Each structure stands twice: as C-alpha cells, then as structure tokens.
C-alpha cells in the first residue's frame, strides 16, 4: 500500500480502475499494519472486535477501544495481556464516543463501517474526537460497481450476514463527505467466493 493518492472532491464510487490496476491483497494484515504502526499518543479504535489489531500499535500508544459487544471485551483484555500492554476497553458505539472534543490524536477503523447503524454519524464522531491535525486511518468494505455480479452478491450478503455487515455501502463517498481536511485513499480487493474480488478502500484522513 504505497503512495496513497489524494482523491479529488468529485471522486465517484465506480467504476474502479481496470481489473489489473486494483491490487488484490491476500489479507488486510499488511495494510492495517502500515497504517496503524506510525500512530502515536491517544488512539481510539472503533469496533476492535477481539483485539486483532492490537499487535500493530506502537507500545507507547494509549489505546482506547469502543466495542459495543461486551462479550468480546474479555478477548481484548486477554490479547492485551498476551502482548504486555494496557488497554482502555469501553462499551460504546461508534455513533456515540465517550470522549471530549479533540481528545484523541488518532482514530482507527478496520472493516467496521459496514456494520455500524449510522455511517455519517459515526464519521462525525470520529472527526469530533480527533484533535486538529489528528489522523483517522481506515480499511473498509465498499460497494462494487452497480450491475456487476459482485454488487449483486453484496446485496444478498447484506441481507443474510449475521453480524449486520452491509458490504454494499458507498463508504468511500461517506468518508470524503465527512468534513476531513485531507483524505488519501486507494482501492484494493480481496479474493472472494467463486473467483470474485471483494472491493476495499484503505487510507487515511486528517482532521
């Protein structure tokens, strides 16, 4: 994930570049590591799940995680203990972050905006809690171009997914419209079923 490009205000969700131009990632681990490792200070993670990103954070980071599923909190604490680090786990939703305005130096969200109730409000909260100049980094599902088999599959999956994952959301546009001063993102994909490619966006935005 080198050379993130700044997308112009008129960026549209599709069609994407030619198939060969979109990098296919075997997993998102390397991209998440590249985005997360430079972060310092107080870092908020929305929807950390079982703490799968914890090992990417610098040891000096003060990590605050808002995970609405309380059943996952023990797993986060266990992972933190395994890594020998302190964490602040809270039972908050992305739409209502219990932090003061400008209380965070950075924010992280990976494969989470597909599952929140309100993407616009969640991004507004991320922007609110970031200090001026703070950074939001993200790796997210995004809708495939309309009329493609992948988009049709996303529509079916969004109705059936047990965790509420709505992978057909125009998340890239939502991020661009959220009021950040600078948004740098790029497209990627992951291998999907039956030879399909699952579209992703990844990048960073500055408050």
State the residue for tokens 């310092």: 40
3 domain-assigned: no
Q: Which two tokens stand for residue 16?
A: 């994407």
Per-residue model confidence as pLDDT tens for the chain (207 residues)? 544 444 433 344 444 444 446 788 888 999 999 999 999 999 999 999 999 999 999 999 999 999 999 999 999 999 999 999 999 999 999 999 999 999 999 999 999 998 899 999 999 999 999 999 999 999 998 866 676 666 666 666 666 666 667 677 889 999 999 999 999 999 998 887 667 778 899 999 999
Question: In whole angstroms, what is the distance from residue 105 CA to residue 93 CA?
Answer: 19
82 domain-assigned: yes
pTM: 0.84
**Helices of type H across 68-146:** 73-83, 119-129
Domain of residue 155, residue span? 22-206
**Torsions phi, psi of 23, nearest 5?**
-65, 140
How many domains does the structure of the chain reveal? 1
CATH code for position 36: 3.40.50.150
């Amino acid at each position: 994930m080198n050379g993130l490009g700044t997308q112009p205000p008129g960026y549209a969700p599709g069609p994407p570049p030619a198939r060969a131009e979109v990098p296919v990632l075997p997993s998102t681990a390397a991209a998440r590591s590249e985005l997360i490792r430079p972060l310092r200070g107080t870092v908020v993670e929305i929807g950390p799940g079982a703490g799968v990103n914890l090992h990417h954070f610098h040891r000096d980071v003060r990590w605050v995680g808002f995970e609405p599923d309380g059943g996952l909190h023990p797993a986060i604490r266990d992972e933190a203990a395994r890594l020998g680090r302190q964490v602040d786990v809270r039972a908050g939703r992305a739409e209502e972050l219990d932090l003061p305005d400008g209380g965070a130096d950075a924010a992280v969200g990976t494969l989470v905006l597909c599952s929140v109730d309100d993407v616009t409000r969640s991004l507004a909260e991320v922007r609110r809690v970031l200090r001026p100049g703070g950074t939001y980094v993200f790796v997210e599902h995004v809708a495939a171009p309309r009329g493609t088999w992948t988009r049709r599959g996303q529509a079916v999956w969004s109705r059936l997914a047990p965790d509420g994952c709505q992978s057909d959301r125009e998340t890239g546009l939502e991020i661009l419209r959220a009021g950040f001063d600078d948004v740098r993102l790029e497209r990627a994909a992951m291998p999907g079923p039956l030879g399909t490619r699952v579209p992703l966006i990844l990048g960073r935005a500055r408050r």
